């Protein structure tokens, strides 16, 4: 049997595919530019837009530049959260390259090719999503298809609109109805693009008594339409949801379709649940979307395809009006928008498309009703052991929003393949959303990722509960401290904020503000160095309160009182140290001047005692050899506390006696924490609480140990009790020479 003839591929197409493959390998390789290359390009692409090079660059160099711009200075591959482009994604990217190549074909050949691409893609999508006898409009912006549909409906209701324009709308104002649960800003965008006043937009509230809180109130919509018709307005179009952007709820599409037929209105449906129309089993609520007048699909995120257009399917019998509305075009190049999707759908095939949507839907247990899960952490106001919630109802919504925002960010960071994100709902507040239809295909989410998400969620719930309970206790403890002020920031996900206030009152406002900033900055650094599980921060980026210290999430065994006492203790130490250093400069300066005078006086007395001849270089050496002089200069110690100079003899005699006694006494016992034990843990509150030793005492002991080591290195220079500084006096003039073997004993110097 003869084999079918093998057709040769166009060399340009083959080269294009190879170039795309090579480009993706370079961009996804993760190999950053060398350090030498970074220095060479530092001013050209990072800091300052450089001039265009005259000789040009090769493809590899340009792609390397793109890769560096994508990843910046991040040398850690694990920190890049860039979506991996799978093989079907490469087909979508190839479509954009092919579109540029095809656009240079001769006009007739281009027309035939674009017509085939457009008709094939439209037929496949209509069959996949059960939308019979539909046409398709491909657009980059998700809202663009709805804008074109609105123009089509306006042209349909106002016959002379094409010639008379907006004067036709002045007598009978059109009205566009949309659910309160629609995308934020959608209605305003429509009015802006259509040149309509906002009075033409009617927001229909959701149910308040029956059904879902995120479904459009059909009875109220009926009343609004009747009122508008009675006032001479024209009900034009209704926007409904098959999966609201926030919670994934589906409106009662069957009832809404009946209303639209009754009042001659256009029904447009959009939402993530439309993806389930490709499955074998679909809920009746979503199936009703197939009877609507138009729907917008977003196959890109559903199938994990990058840079593919959104599609608006619609039914209309008048091609002229569709052309006037911009839903169809006579320009073949515009029809090439469907090319990336045309290639990707062929690569996946019908079974591959259905399998991806089915896999994403089955990641949710009740996938038939809605493949979107929205959850929120909340806690009853009843007080429990270990904390209190008295007086906590005020601002509780904001605090819970902050905690849920933290929960969503942590889950997204620790389980990135889950694709969870944070969503703001009008009634519920901040929630965490798991919408696998929008993320699973691109991220490759599997069942084990969902299991990991549930496990992490179980670990974080106790932390959130403890933080909520201890937040009021922390505030009460801070308010009891005169040197601390509590910072009220309801957007902070943690125990709260605190500021250390210096006790000095004799400073002006500027100096006091500088002192507060310096002390709290040093205090924050000290707290961050402690061996504890608590998180300390300078606060939110746009926090109104400055110079604050914010404490993060808490655990069950947290000792709030000990935490506050430690903050106060460290703050006082920093404040006292600051006062000491402020006064030390002037005291030391005066001490040095006095020491210089005494040294000069001692040298003069020495000159008078030894005589003038001993100061002559040659004569002095002979005299010192014949009759040595045992000259001695007394050492001096500078007392910082009293600001005076004293002799060093009492100091060294006392030190010798102390060293002798210390060798006879037993060493001082210091209580230490057990290995692995953290600060601020209450005794018996958790498995890690293995010691009842106060962390504040341990902190003070560590400070004393540090001070003792410094004192040993610097003799008496930094001993807090004595505050002595040794100043060495000169033993003789610089040109005095002593015969070998007759050197005089010099004064001890600081090490």
Residues 100-120 have pLDDT tens digits of 888 888 889 999 999 999 999
Torsion of Cα atoms, 115 then 117 then 123 then 126, to 10°: -110
The pLDDT-based confidence of 168 (bands split at 50, 70, 90) is confident
Query: What is the average pLDDT score of the chain?
Result: 77
- 725 conformational bin, left if phi > 0, alpha if psi -120 to 50, beta if neither: beta
pLDDT at residue 604, as a whole number:
74
Mean pLDDT along residues 206-221: 82
Residues 705-711: contacts with CB within 8 Å, 24+ apart? 705/670
pLDDT at residue 584, as a whole number:
65
Residue 602 CB neighbours (<10 A): 16
Statement: residue 296 has pLDDT above 80: yes
- 135 in helix, strand or coil? strand
Domain end among 529, 548, 579? 579
- Tell me the chain's radius of gyration from C-alpha atoms: 40
The pLDDT-based confidence of 99 (bands split at 50, 70, 90) is confident
In DSSP terms, 637 is beta-bridged to 646, 726
Say if residue 489 is in the same domain as residue 562: yes
Q: How many domains does the chain have?
A: 4
pLDDT at residue 413, as a whole number:
94
Q: Report which listed range, 252-261, 393-402, 711-720, is most confident.
A: 252-261
Q: From the centroid of its chain, how far is CA 547? A: 21
Say if residue 177 is in the same domain as residue 303: yes
Say if residue 218 is in the same domain as residue 307: yes
How do residues 404-425 score in pLDDT, each as one tens digit? 999 999 999 999 999 999 999 8
Say if residue 155 is in the same domain as residue 186: yes
How do residues 303-347 score in pLDDT, each as one tens digit? 999 889 999 999 998 999 999 999 998 888 888 899 999 999 999
Mean pLDDT along residues 518-537: 90
pLDDT at residue 718, as a whole number:
39
Q: Which residue has the higher pLDDT, 662 or 128?
A: 128
Q: Which residue has the higher pLDDT, 523 or 631?
A: 523
Domain end among 47, 76, 105? 76
The answer to whether residue 627 is domain-embedded is no
Lowest mean pLDDT among 142-156, 202-216, 286-300: 202-216
Say if residue 491 is in the same domain as residue 447: no
The answer to whether residue 121 is domain-embedded is no
Say if residue 471 is in the same domain as residue 459: no
How do residues 552-606 score in pLDDT, each as one tens digit? 999 888 989 999 999 999 989 888 887 666 666 666 777 777 777 877 777 777 7
CATH number of the domain within which 328 lies: 3.40.640.10
Mean pLDDT along residues 448-458: 95
The pLDDT-based confidence of 363 (bands split at 50, 70, 90) is very high
Say what angle helices 186-194 and 144-157 make with each other, to 10 degrees.
Answer: 50
Statement: residue 494 has pLDDT above 50: yes
Say if residue 200 is in the same domain as residue 56: no
DSSP code of residue 43: I
The answer to whether residue 206 is domain-embedded is yes
The answer to whether residue 424 is domain-embedded is yes
The pLDDT-based confidence of 682 (bands split at 50, 70, 90) is low
The answer to whether residue 109 is domain-embedded is no
The answer to whether residue 113 is domain-embedded is no
Q: Which residue has the higher pLDDT, 38 or 668?
A: 38
Domain end among 463, 478, 499? 463
Query: SS3 letters for 434-471?
Result: ECHHHHHHHHCCCHHHHHHHHHHHHHHHHHHHHHHHHH
**C-alpha to C-alpha distance for 589 and 585, rounded to whole angstroms:** 6
The pLDDT-based confidence of 121 (bands split at 50, 70, 90) is very high
Lowest mean pLDDT among 130-134, 238-242, 622-626: 622-626
How do residues 625-677 score in pLDDT, each as one tens digit? 666 666 555 666 666 555 566 666 666 666 555 654 544 443 333 334 555 55
The answer to whether residue 2 is domain-embedded is no
Helix (H) or strand (E) segment spanning residue 648: none
Lowest mean pLDDT among 39-48, 197-206, 437-446, 539-548: 39-48
Residues 6+ apart with CB under 8 A from 568: 481, 483, 484, 500
**C-alpha to C-alpha distance for 730 and 268, rounded to whole angstroms:** 98
pLDDT at residue 438, as a whole number:
94
DSSP string, 249-316: -B--HHHHHHHHHHTT-EEEEE-GGGGGGGSSS--HHHHGGGGSSEEEE-HHHHHT-TTPPEEEEE--
Say if residue 172 is in the same domain as residue 283: yes
**C-alpha to C-alpha distance for 655 and 316, rounded to whole angstroms:** 103
pLDDT at residue 95, as a whole number:
81
Strand order in the sheet with 484-487: 484-487, 496-500, 549-551, 536-537
The pLDDT-based confidence of 361 (bands split at 50, 70, 90) is very high
30 is in which domain, residue-wise? 11-76
CB distance 400 to 378 below 8 Å: yes
Q: Which residue has the higher pLDDT, 279 or 714?
A: 279
What is the share, in percent, of the chain residues with pLDDT greater than 70? 67
The pLDDT-based confidence of 716 (bands split at 50, 70, 90) is very low
The pLDDT-based confidence of 727 (bands split at 50, 70, 90) is very low
Residues 6+ apart with CB under 8 A from 705: 670
Say if residue 151 is in the same domain as residue 43: no
Q: Which residue has the higher pLDDT, 693 or 529?
A: 529
The answer to whether residue 558 is domain-embedded is yes
Say if residue 458 is in the same domain as residue 473: no
CB distance 321 to 162 below 8 Å: no
Say if residue 402 is in the same domain as residue 483: no
Q: Which residue has the higher pLDDT, 661 or 158?
A: 158
DSSP code of residue 363: T
Lowest mean pLDDT among 116-125, 258-267, 276-285, 675-684: 675-684
Residues 6+ apart with CB under 8 A from 230: none
Say if residue 314 is in the same domain as residue 428: no
In DSSP terms, 136 is beta-bridged to 313
- State the pTM of this model: 0.73
């Amino acid at each position: 049997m003869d084999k079918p003839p093998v057709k040769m591929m166009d060399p340009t197409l083959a080269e294009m595919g190879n170039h795309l493959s090579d480009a993706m390998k370079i961009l996804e390789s993760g190999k950053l530019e060398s350090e030498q290359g970074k220095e060479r390009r530092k001013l050209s692409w990072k800091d300052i837009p450089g001039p265009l090079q005259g000789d040009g660059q090769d493809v590899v160099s340009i792609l390397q530049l793109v890769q560096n711009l994508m990843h910046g200075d991040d040398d850690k591959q694990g920190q890049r959260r860039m979506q991996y482009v799978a093989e079907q994604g490469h087909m979508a990217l190839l479509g954009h390259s092919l579109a540029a190549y095809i656009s240079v074909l001769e006009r007739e050949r281009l027309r035939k090719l674009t017509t085939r691409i457009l008709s094939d893609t439209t037929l496949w999508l209509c069959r996949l999503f059960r939308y019979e006898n539909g046409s398709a409009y491909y657009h980059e912006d998700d809202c663009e298809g709805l804008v074109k549909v609105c123009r089509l409906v306006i042209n349909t209701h106002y016959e002379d609109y094409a010639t008379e324009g907006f004067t036709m709308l002045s007598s009978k104002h059109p009205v566009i109805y949309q659910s309160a649960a629609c995308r934020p800003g959608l209605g305003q965008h429509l009015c802006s693009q259509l040149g309509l006043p906002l009075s033409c937009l009617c927001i229909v509230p959701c149910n308040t008594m029956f059904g879902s809180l995120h479904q459009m109130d059909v009875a109220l919509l009926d009343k609004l339409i009747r009122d508008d018709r009675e006032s001479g307005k024209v009900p034009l179009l209704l926007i409904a949801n098959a999966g609201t952007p926030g919670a994934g709820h589906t409106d009662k599409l069957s009832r809404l379709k009946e209303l639209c037929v009754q009042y001659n209105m256009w029904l447009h449906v959009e939402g993530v649940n439309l993806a389930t129309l490709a499955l074998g089993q679909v809920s009746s609520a979503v199936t009703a979307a197939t009877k609507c007048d138009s729907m917008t699909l977003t196959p890109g995120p559903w199938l994990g395809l990058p840079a593919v257009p959104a599609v608006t399917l619609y039914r209309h019998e008048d091609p002229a009006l569709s052309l006037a509305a911009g839903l169809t075009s006579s320009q073949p190049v515009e029809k090439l928008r469907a090319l990336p999707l045309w290639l990707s759908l062929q690569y996946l095939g019908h079974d591959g498309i259905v399998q991806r949507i089915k896999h994403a839907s089955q990641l949710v247990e009740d996938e038939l009703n809605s493949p979107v899960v929205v959850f929120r952490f909340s806690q009853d106001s009843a007080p429990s052991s270990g904390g209190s919630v008295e007086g906590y109802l005020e601002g509780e919504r904001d605090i819970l929003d902050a905690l849920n925002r933290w929960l969503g960010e942590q889950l997204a960071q620790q389980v990135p393949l889950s694709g969870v994100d944070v969503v703001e709902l009008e009634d519920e507040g901040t929630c965490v959303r798991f919408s696998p239809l929008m993320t699973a295909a691109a991220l490759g989410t599997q069942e084990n990722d969902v299991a990991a998400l549930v496990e992490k969620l179980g670990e974080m719930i106790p932390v959130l509960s403890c933080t909520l309970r201890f937040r009021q206790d922390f505030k009460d403890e801070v308010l009891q401290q005169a040197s601390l002020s509590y910072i009220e920031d309801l957007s902070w996900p943690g125990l709260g904020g605190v500021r250390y206030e210096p006790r000095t009152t004799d400073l002006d406002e500027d100096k006091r503000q500088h002192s507060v900033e310096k002390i709290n900055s040093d205090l924050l650094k000290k707290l961050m160095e402690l061996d504890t599980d608590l998180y300390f921060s300078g606060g939110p980026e746009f926090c109104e309160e400055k110079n604050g210290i914010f404490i993060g999430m808490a655990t069950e065994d947290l000792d709030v009182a000990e935490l506050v006492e430690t903050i106060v203790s460290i703050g006082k130490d920093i404040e006292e140290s600051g006062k000491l250093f402020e006064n030390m400069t002037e005291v030391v300066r005066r001490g040095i001047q006095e020491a210089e005078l005494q040294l000069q006086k001692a040298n003069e007395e020495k000159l008078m005692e030894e005589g003038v001849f001993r100061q002559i270089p040659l004569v002095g050496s002979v005299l010192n050899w014949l009759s040595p002089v045992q000259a001695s200069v007394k050492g001096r110690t500078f007392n910082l506390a009293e600001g005076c100079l004293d002799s060093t003899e009492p100091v060294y005699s006392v030190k010798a006696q102390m060293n002798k006694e210390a060798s006879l006494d037993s060493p001082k016992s210091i209580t230490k924490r057990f290995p692995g034990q953290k600060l601020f843990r209450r005794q018996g509150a958790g498995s890690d609480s293995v010691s009842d030793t106060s962390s504040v005492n341990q902190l003070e002991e560590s400070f004393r140990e540090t001070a003792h080591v410094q004192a040993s290195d610097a003799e008496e220079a930094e001993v807090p009790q004595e505050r002595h500084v040794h100043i060495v006096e000169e033993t003789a003039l610089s040109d005095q020479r002593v015969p070998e073997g007759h050197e005089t004993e010099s004064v001890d110097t600081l090490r």
